[in-house]
Structure 1
Amino acid sequence: MSAQTSSSSQSASSLKTIRTTIPARLDRLPWSKFHWLVVVGLGTVWILDGLEVTIVGAIGSRLTEPDSGLGLTTAQVGLAAAIYVAGACTGALVFGYLTDRFGRKKLFILTLGLYLLATVLTAFSVTPWMFFVFRFFTGAGIGGEYAAINSAIDELIPARRRGLVDLAINGSYWLGTAFGAVLTVFLLNTAIFPPNIGWRIAFGLGAVLGLVILLVRRNVPESPRWMFIHGRDEDAEELVGTIEHDIEEQTHERLATVPDDKGITIHQRRSTGFGEIVRTAVTRYPKRFTLGLSLFIGQAFLYNAVFFTYSLVLTKLLHVPDDVAPWALVPIAIGNFLGPLLLGRLFDSVGRRFMITLSYVGSGVLLVGTAIMFDAGLLDAFWLTACWMVVFFFASAGASSAYLTVSEIFPMETRAMSIAFFYAIGTAIGGITGPILFGRLIESGSHAVAIGYYIGAGLMIAAGLVELFLGVDAEGKSLEDIAAPLSSETPAQRPTR
């Protein structure tokens, strides 16, 4: 694939006002090898996050054993999970701001590099504090990835496929979950690996996968949308022209010409200040701000609470052996992956508002039923896992759509920072408190855990109702039509929301 351009053949020092049809040209492209490069090079990082979360969840009980080399308490396992999420929140905010300022590509290379280094160091932890520190920086790398990757993907994928592609990519997280679950079954088998070695190998294998992704990612270009706003319009034109030429050679058909009236006028800028980013979200789009926060808090609490501690529920409350518990994550991961994959097309055809509401409210209602049966002692490990498969089939589509939503509904100049902000705040509220709360609820017994399930269900249902009333009908629309760039000469004439 030759969709590369010189990194700085055009100086960004001479900013000017331009008119460009690049967004319309990108949106009218047929699916091609270029788009597969974007999906594989950028989207596969969610597999790493799924792997990381699952490994810690699956090995949680092993890390509490004295001969593991760490000897954590049950509460410390939940604390380690919370520290990982805190790192992800911090990384999202720091790297999200840098992504909008310095470009998508520089940051999606840097953040993956940080993940690789930190996860390797995690494998060599010999004390709890070392494990906590390295988990923080592993999370920081993954959090930065969310901002850089989601913004780049949405800016490179045609509008008519954006919903399906985003949901499928975010759903690939669960491929990592399934892989991590199967992997830990063997790595926790003390007949194969000593108790203090198997869990270390798991983190090392995550680094190997990350290295492979890094090699592919080097070929993914910078976002042309970011380039033309930041003074590199000539480079952006060259890049898009190369992409179009390659697609025409692949399809043996000429692409339709995009008329000038489909273009937008841009006052180029070097960067967007943090104050302007905040004002844009809070004052120009207050309803969208509320929407993004609600969606992220609901899904973050549910997922981080359950998956960081599910192995403990099985082993401590349902008395499942340590080397068997990880297998339960495989069918749950399959349900989570199939939800976004099978429902994704409906987010582009039926529409965002209806499908997001259905995903959130539906999963919340199903979770209430699961909590009632669990509290009554009607569910053993098999049936609890079966219930989670159904709940997360819908919840996974909803969680994936949260990232899609905040990536679409805010202006280009603030896109990465918007993703970072909502991920960080929502995850800090739901993702840090969830694991700590559930770690303590598990120590208190099944009735306490059921209360935690009710809380998660309530947050999901509430978020779904917010989507019903405040959702944005973004299906099939160009990003610039959903939220006009701050640099645009003629902002969209629509009420702020």
Structure 2
Amino acid sequence: MATTPDGDRRTPRQLPIADRDRKRLLLKLKLATQIGEGLDGYIIGGIGMALAALTTALHVSTLWQGLIGASPLIGIFVGGPAFGWLADRLGRRPIFLIDMVVFLSGSIAQFFVVDGVQLFVIRLVMGIAIGGEYAIGAPLLSEYAPRRNRGRLLASLEVSWYVGYMVATVVGAALANVNGGWRWTLGSSAIIAVACLALRGGVPESARWLLSKGRRAEAEVLIAKYGIEIDVEAEVADSEQQDSLRALFSREHIRSTVFSSSFWAFLVLPYFAISTFWSKVVDALGLGSDATSALLVYSVTAVLGVVLGTVVVDRIGRRKLLIPPFWITAASLAVVALWPNSTPVVVIGFLFFIFLNAMSSALTSVYPLEVFPTSIRTTGVGFAAAMSRVGAAIGTFLLPIGLNRLGVQFVMWVGAGVLALGGLISHFLAPETTDMDLAQAARTARAHN
């Protein structure tokens, strides 16, 4: 007997109508958001596999290699806050559709590029759409998710990111020896985007968002139809009257804004930088010439890590899943920096880094959604996603330059320092929000301010 998204093992015929409708909606939302999250991993993994071939084909300089690698991350900086702000003002549903249309258009356009500048611009636009995905998809799912396993449901979105990255690696490897294979690798994201867009038709508006806008009658229809677990009075009471972007920096919410932005940025910066330029890192560490096989191991290890994070997120609590892995991964990269010429040390150090970094990254789809109230949730998540990608973009842009000028040891020390800083900030700012209603979780986060 299959388990439904909220953990109920009864068959659909055994469930009340509201329960059946909720489970169908949760499944549809889960798939629509998982694919959207997976597309971010897919385009990052795809460029990592295609970069060497397109550099030769398009005569791309080192500078433009860095810019192309960082372009989606730069785009998220714009798209996250912009789409998040729009979703808080206009509703989740329309923006949920629009951002995927933008992404689909960019995916198709990648196939026809003739120089590095065009590819940079197109992937920048795709990054803007991915920013919208972070701001809208997971918040919309969270606003329908049951409290008892909300963490696992949301963390599964991060599994999709790593699966998307891994699939892109496999596709890129399969097309590596095909004439113009890099074009097919990049353009193949359009196929996934079409499937994602099709799933989003018929998705209703968020009942929590309707409550935050004073549209109580409409919200109560959805609450009754889908049997949503929701504290109606708390949602109404927590509505923000000021502009959502301005509210992020108010005394009431500034701690949540700083925490969600910083932990996310420090967590993903080393991962994005190293994975995007994996072949250069492998060469610098003298791990052999088969960078593709090493990248596949990297990807599989990351998937295993984030799957474990998804399994334990509701069991051990948010803080325990976040803070210890920060310190252990920092130590892992420090060990690689100390003994860069020892193959066993480098391999073990990287495996610890990849696995534990991916495990705690499950929280990037959980924590930012829980520390903001509904009225500013998508703006807050979009802003946090933007800040995370600013850090990742800086790291991705500077890594090849750092390797060429300062060496691999310096790069590993910087990565270790970034992770240690993330652990320190999380120790002081991270609230414990496990097993709380969304409104209660947001209030707990505000109580720390």
TM-score strictly above 0.5: yes
**1:457 aligned to 404, 412, 416, which one?**
416
State how far apart, in whole Å, the 1-side matches of 2:363 and 2:124 are: 26
Alignment of 1:279-428 (within 5 A): 279-314=247-282, 318=286, 324-374=290-340, 377-379=341-343, 384=346, 387-428=349-390
Distance change >3 Å, CA 178–CA 209, structure 1 → 2: same
**1:61 aligned to 52, 62, 77, which one?**
52
- After TM superposition, give the deviation of residue 392 of structure 1 in Å: 1.7
Instruction: Supply the AA of the counterpart residue of 1:463.
Output: G
Q: Verify the 8 A CA contact 2:21 2:226 in the aligned structure 1.
A: no
Q: What is aligned with 1:249?
A: none
**3-state SS of the aligned residue for 1:305?**
helix
Q: Verify the 8 A CA contact 1:281 1:288 in the aligned structure 2.
A: no
More divergent stretch after superposition (119-128 vs 391-400): 391-400
Q: What is aligned with 1:435?
A: 396
CA shift digits 1:76-108 (9 cap, x unpaired): 211212222111111112111101111111111
**1:41 aligned to 27, 32, 35, which one?**
32
- The structure having more radius of gyration, on CA atoms, is 1
Q: Verify the 8 A CA contact 2:83 2:136 in the aligned structure 1.
A: yes
Q: What is aligned with 2:168?
A: 180
Q: What is aligned with 2:97?
A: 109
**3-state SS of the aligned residue for 1:480?**
helix
Q: Number of residue pairs matched?
A: 431
**3-state SS of the aligned residue for 2:298?**
helix
- After TM superposition, give the deviation of residue 494 of structure 1 in Å: 7.1
Distance change >3 Å, CA 315–CA 185, structure 1 → 2: farther
State how far apart, in whole Å, the 1-side matches of 2:259 and 2:245 are: 17
State how far apart, in whole Å, the 2-side matches of 1:319 and 1:384 are: 9
State how far apart, in whole Å, the 2-side matches of 1:409 and 1:378 are: 43
Instruction: Supply the AA of the counterpart residue of 2:219.
Output: A
Distance change >3 Å, CA 90–CA 205, structure 1 → 2: same
TM-score normalised by length of structure 2: 0.88
**Percent of aligned pairs with the same residue?**
24
- After TM superposition, give the deviation of residue 273 of structure 1 in Å: 4.5
**Consecutive aligned runs of 4 or more in structure 1 exceeding 6 Å deviation:** 28-31
Q: What is aligned with 2:70?
A: 82
CA shift digits 1:48-94 (9 cap, x unpaired): 111100111122221221xx2x1112332112122221111111121
State how far apart, in whole Å, the 2-side matches of 1:60 and 1:493 are: 42
RMSD of equivalent CA atoms: 2.8
Instruction: Supply the AA of the counterpart residue of 1:177.
Output: Y
State how far apart, in whole Å, the 2-side matches of 1:297 and 1:51 are: 19
- After TM superposition, give the deviation of residue 320 of structure 1 in Å: 5.4
State how far apart, in whole Å, the 2-side matches of 1:225 and 1:295 are: 26
Instruction: Supply the AA of the counterpart residue of 1:211.
Output: V
Q: Verify the 8 A CA contact 1:104 1:223 in the aligned structure 2.
A: yes
Q: Verify the 8 A CA contact 1:41 1:216 in the aligned structure 2.
A: yes
State how far apart, in whole Å, the 2-side matches of 1:105 and 1:91 are: 16
Q: Verify the 8 A CA contact 2:212 2:235 in the aligned structure 1.
A: no
**Structure 2 unaligned residues grouped into runs of 5+:** 1-18
TM-score normalised by length of structure 1: 0.80
Q: What is aligned with 1:146?
A: 134
Q: What is aligned with 2:10?
A: none
State how far apart, in whole Å, the 2-side matches of 1:350 and 1:72 are: 47
State how far apart, in whole Å, the 1-side matches of 2:305 and 2:41 are: 16
Distance change >3 Å, CA 262–CA 286, structure 1 → 2: closer
Q: What is aligned with 1:227?
A: 210
- After TM superposition, give the deviation of residue 147 of structure 1 in Å: 0.3
**3-state SS of the aligned residue for 2:154?**
helix
State how far apart, in whole Å, the 1-side matches of 2:171 and 2:87 are: 33
State how far apart, in whole Å, the 2-side matches of 1:283 and 1:99 are: 23
